[in-house]
């Protein structure tokens, strides 16, 4: 079995585990967030040994050549000596909290003012770094013309970052961010294309940005947004989305409740309701954001319903120790 050497200590890696899992099992703390090879938070550098090509997927060629790789998706084939990534590999930017207010008991809206320019597409995500090194990924709900970065943070019981943001982070505090990352954003190649967007919980954040971006760019195809939660109390932005639906003839919003008391709203899981209404998705572009189980299930069903694989944009949210 391969050996991973970090900070002059060597650890035996089981055959079925990643470098991140190996180091975590031995009590070594590495920054990580998505654990799916997307956010690049767990990027580290191999100083001896060669990481598999799959572990370098999505990294810039310059970083690949220097031996950088993503620990969460690296199942090593040989012994590796690794070290933490330096600041130049994933540069960070200071951002000031300019507004913080709750949408409901579980989700808070956070607005940040970057210290300098931050080019992004609505729906992408950034990594937010706490002073002690703790890092988590959050989707961007704002548009560049808003003049700030808006994040929707869901408080997970026991979550280290979400609890800190909910209870301690204050207006005028400064955090560090990096990014943007991800490919979940509006593409204006075909303004007549129908769009299906499905989200749960704070998975509405990127979809809110995508909807606003599409409408701002004059998208003419139908845009259907389904947002779900277990209870009405955990839905948010309902009034704003209904106003958008009244203002735009091609935008349709369906709030969904999967719990027992649906309060007159659509009853059931958002993905199941959406895919039952649109059984054929040939030619559609699909966006799926939220709980990983929902995203993975809906991704398969959207493909079987006719959506082309490259037209399905999936952004699963991970909540472990959030």
Residue 207 lies in a domain: yes
Pick the last residue of a domain from 181, 214, 247.
181
Within a domain: residue 21? Answer: yes
214 and 304, same domain (yes or no): yes
Is the residue at 188 inside a domain?
no
Residue 34's CATH number: 3.10.20.30
215 and 170: one domain?
no
Confidence of residue 267 (pLDDT cuts 50, 70, 90): very high
Same domain flag for 215 and 304 = yes
Both 161 and 235 in one domain: the answer is no
Among the three residues 126, 152, 181, which one is the final residue of a domain in this structure? 181
Range in 163-172, 220-229, 278-287, 290-299 with the lowest mean pLDDT: 290-299
Strand partners, 100: 110
pLDDT score, position 314: 86
C-beta of residue 320 within 8 angstroms of C-beta of residue 296 = no
What's the pLDDT tens digit per position in 301-310? 999 999 999 9
Residue 189 lies in a domain: no
One domain, residues 291 and 213: yes
User: Is residue 186 assigned to a domain?
Assistant: no
Q: Does the pTM exceed 0.85? A: no
Check pLDDT > 90 for residue 74: yes
Is pLDDT of 283 > 60?
Answer: yes
Same domain, 79 and 97: no
**pLDDT at 319 exceeding the cut of 60:** no
Answer whether residue 51 shows pLDDT above 80: yes
In the chain, % of residues over pLDDT 70? 98
Question: Residue 312 belongs to a domain with what CATH number?
Answer: 3.40.50.80
Q: Are residues 114 and 73 both part of a single domain? A: no
User: For the chain, what is the domain count?
Assistant: 3
**Is the same domain home to 289 and 312?**
yes
Q: Which of 63, 84, 105 is the last residue of a domain?
A: 84
In this structure, the strands spanning 285-290 and 195-200 are parallel
Mark whether 201 and 160 lie in a shared domain: no
* 228 plus 299 within the same structural domain: yes
My answer on whether 221 and 311 are in the same domain is: yes
Domain with 258, as residue range(s), is 195-316
Co-location of 69 and 109 in the same domain:
no
The answer to whether residues 250 and 220 touch, using CB atoms and an 8 Å cutoff, is yes
Tell me, yes or no, whether 145 lies in a domain: yes
Whole-number pLDDT of residue 248: 97
């Amino acid at each position: 079995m391969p050996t991973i050497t970090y900070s002059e200590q060597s650890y035996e890696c089981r055959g079925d585990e990643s470098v991140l899992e190996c180091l975590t099992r031995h009590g070594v703390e590495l920054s990580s967030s998505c654990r799916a090879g997307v956010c690049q938070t767990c990027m580290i550098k191999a100083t001896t040994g060669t990481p598999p090509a799959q572990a370098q997927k999505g990294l810039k060629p310059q970083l690949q050549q220097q031996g950088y790789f993503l620990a969460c998706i690296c199942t090593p084939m040989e012994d590796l000596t690794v070290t933490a990534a330096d600041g130049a590999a994933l540069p960070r930017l200071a951002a000031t909290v300019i507004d913080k207010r709750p949408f409901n008991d579980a989700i808070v809206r956070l607005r940040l003012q970057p210290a300098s320019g931050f080019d992004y597409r609505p729906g992408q995500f950034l990594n937010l770094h706490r002073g002690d090194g703790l890092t988590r990924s959050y989707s961007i709900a704002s548009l560049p013309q808003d003049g700030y970065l808006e994040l929707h943070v869901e408080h997970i019981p026991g979550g280290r970052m979400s609890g800190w943001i909910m209870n301690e982070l204050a207006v005028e505090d400064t955090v560090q961010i990096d990014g943007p990352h991800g490919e979940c954003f509006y593409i204006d190649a075909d303004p007549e294309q129908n769009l299906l967007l499905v989200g749960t919980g704070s998975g509405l954040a990127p979809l809110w940005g995508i909807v606003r971006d599409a409408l701002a760019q004059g998208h003419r195809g139908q845009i259907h947004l389904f947002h779900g939660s277990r209870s009405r109390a955990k839905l948010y932005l309902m009034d704003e989305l209904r106003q958008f639906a009244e203002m735009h003839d091609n935008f349709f919003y369906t709030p969904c409740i999967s719990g027992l008391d649906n309060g007159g709203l659509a009853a059931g899981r958002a993905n199941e309701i959406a895919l039952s209404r649109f059984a054929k998705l040939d030619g559609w572009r699909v966006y799926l954001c939220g709980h990983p189980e929902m995203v993975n299930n809906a991704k398969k069903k959207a493909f079987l319903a006719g959506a082309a694989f490259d037209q399905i944009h999936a952004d699963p949210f991970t909540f472990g120790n959030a």
